[in-house]
Amino acid sequence: MSAIILLVIFYCSGNTPPLGTWSKPKGNQRKVIPFTEHPGLPTHLRSSMSNASPADFFQLLVSDSLFQEIADRTNRFAINKIARSEEASRFARLRKWVPTDLEEIKKFFGLILFMGITKLPRLAEYWSTNNIVGHPFPRTIMPRNRFELILQMLHFSEDDEVNKKDRLHRIRYLLQILNEQFQKHYTPGEDLCIDESVVPFRGRIIFRQYNKQKRHKYGIKEFKLCCIPGYTYKVNVYAGKNDETTNTTPFNVVMDLLNGLLNKGHTLYTDNWYTSIELARALLDNETHLVGTIRKNRRHLPKKVIRTKLKKGEFIAQENKDGITAMKWRDKREVLVLSTKHSDRFVKIKKRKGNVVMKPQIITDYNTAKGAVDLSDQMAAYSSPLRKSVKWYKKLAIDLLLNTSMVNALTLYKSVTKHKNIQIVDFRRSVMMNLCGVSQNAAPKEIPKRVKHTLEKKDGLARKVRRTCRQCYAENVPIMGSKQAKTKTQKVSTYCGSCPKKPYLCLPCFNKIHF
């Protein structure tokens, strides 16, 4: 009696009963509105970018204004850190910080790209003078100490103490800007794909992920919305279940990534973590198809499809009143899929060896579209510069700037220009040389020779050869004035014989300038 009452309540609420509504496939899939967009680079940019260089396409997504913002925020962070580091030695590298600028920060990221292309075991090896291990290029761009100091101070946010409730506050601004640029310069095609990527990171972080299916098992998980042939349209970063800024249930992840793309006739392809009957119905209500693998323990799936045992090549499928098809097909193993777009139709597939096999249309379409994220990850993995950083947010920021943005720029470059066969390494090299301000046809710069400075003592009586320490005098003038500084500054008989004009210096000032 109670079961009948519950069923009546369910019907009165306007919902469809979850059980007993599945039947043999009839091909009655619900039609959504036709997709009418023009995929790719916006029309007003195509003609002007037809002869552009790889660096021009990269600059569409990562502009000079963004690099300038990074330089400004790095400078502010460095000044605040120096002000708080009163206990640091006066000879510490931190004390030698000078503000960076747009040109230098571009060279810095250009060197990181170079390190991804040319692999060496340690960071210091890139500036080594060893004929076997060392490489001459980095020394012509930036000294090693300066590169390591910028890497230490590199920052992408401000007001860190205020925004600590948001676990991603250190890269939130950068993520927002890049997502805006990705969406501004590309119109997605009909097929969309959502999947996860992992940015390698083995350090201690509360939302570090372990995924045995990925190449890098430990790291920071990203939710990506990708388009064929591998363009990343939007990225969200997983910051843990307790992060209050976003709800990371599969349904909410999908709806957040699809914000702005619903009701346009797209088809979304997902894996079994996202796919569900509830999501399929919600997307159909928003004129969007769903195709994906699905877990057998999801609610409202037909029991007959789940429980039936199949032999190789066999299948079973059922369809509900909404036109949603649930199919199980066995090839090497059983695959359970869900689609609002397909029935149980099979198509012929020609394999590499020439033999023809029959596969479900759902599976073939899914494999084609799902490769978008895999292709994007594969291209980003080649020449990846991620190992050159320490902090998690720096690794994540470098991945967004020099991996995700690079693959997107390459996708745009291939779609607009005649260079369809350019490889990702060649594309990276071209962008790297532009960031470093080096022309491909330019003669190599002469590597500056390192001079060994020595503190020498002037011959003769000390009281006759003593002179004012130049560095102490320069520091005292703003405080005392020139006249008083001349009398108050200590006099020494030691000088640097390797510096121009051989200035007189005391030992602390000599160490401060040269070490």
pLDDT in tens, 44-82: 888 889 899 999 999 999 999 999 999 999 999 998 888
Select the more confidently predicted residue: 356 or 410: 410
User: What sign does the dihedral 194-199-205-210 (CA atoms) show?
Assistant: positive
pLDDT of 232-256, one tens digit each? 999 999 888 755 555 678 999 999 9
Specify whether 438 is located in the same domain as 468. no
Last residue of a domain, one of 408, 424, 450: 450
- Torsions phi, psi for 495 (to 5 deg): -145, 165
Select the more confidently predicted residue: 262 or 17: 262
Instruction: With a cut of 70, say whether residue 30 has pLDDT above it.
Output: yes
Domain that holds residue 483: 455-514
Q: Which residues contact 380 (CB under 8 A, 6 or more apart)?
A: 399, 403, 404, 406, 407
Specify whether 387 is located in the same domain as 509. no
pLDDT at 1: 40
Specify whether 390 is located in the same domain as 433. yes
User: What's the structural domain count of the chain?
Assistant: 2
- Does the residue 197 lie in any domain? no
Residues 347-374 have a mean pLDDT of: 85
Exposure b/e, 321-353, CB count within 10 A at least 16 = b: ebbbbbbbbbeeeebbbbbbbbbbeeeeeeeee
pLDDT at 405: 95
Specify whether 414 is located in the same domain as 468. no
Q: Could you tell me the pLDDT band of residue 479, with boundaries at 50, 70 and 90?
A: confident
What element of type H or E holds 337? strand 334-339
Specify whether 406 is located in the same domain as 508. no
- Does the residue 504 lie in any domain? yes
Instruction: With a cut of 80, say whether residue 214 has pLDDT above it.
Output: no
- Does the residue 361 lie in any domain? no
Specify whether 81 is located in the same domain as 143. yes
pLDDT of 99-142, one tens digit each? 999 999 999 999 999 999 988 888 888 998 887 887 889 999 99
Specify whether 59 is located in the same domain as 180. yes
- Does the residue 24 lie in any domain? no
pLDDT at 33: 93
Specify whether 102 is located in the same domain as 155. yes
Specify whether 478 is located in the same domain as 427. no
Helix (H, G, I), strand (E, B), or coil: what is residue 178?
A: helix
Instruction: With a cut of 90, say whether residue 430 has pLDDT above it.
Output: yes
Highest mean pLDDT among 125-134, 162-171, 382-391, 413-422: 413-422
What is the value of pTM for the model shown? 0.79
Tokens of 201: 């990171």
- Does the residue 96 lie in any domain? yes
- Does the residue 498 lie in any domain? yes
* CA 133 vs CA 126, 140, 450, 504: distances in Å: 8, 16, 18, 38
Specify whether 433 is located in the same domain as 502. no
Last residue of a domain, one of 407, 429, 450: 450
Last residue of a domain, one of 416, 450, 484: 450
pLDDT at 81: 85
Specify whether 508 is located in the same domain as 393. no
User: Which has the closest alpha carbon to 129: 348, 447, 362?
Assistant: 447
- Does the residue 324 lie in any domain? no
- Does the residue 363 lie in any domain? no
Q: Pairing state of beta strands 191-200 and 267-270?
A: parallel
Specify whether 129 is located in the same domain as 57. yes
Query: Assign residue 456 a region: left if phi > 0, alpha if psi is -120 to 50, beta otherwise?
Result: beta
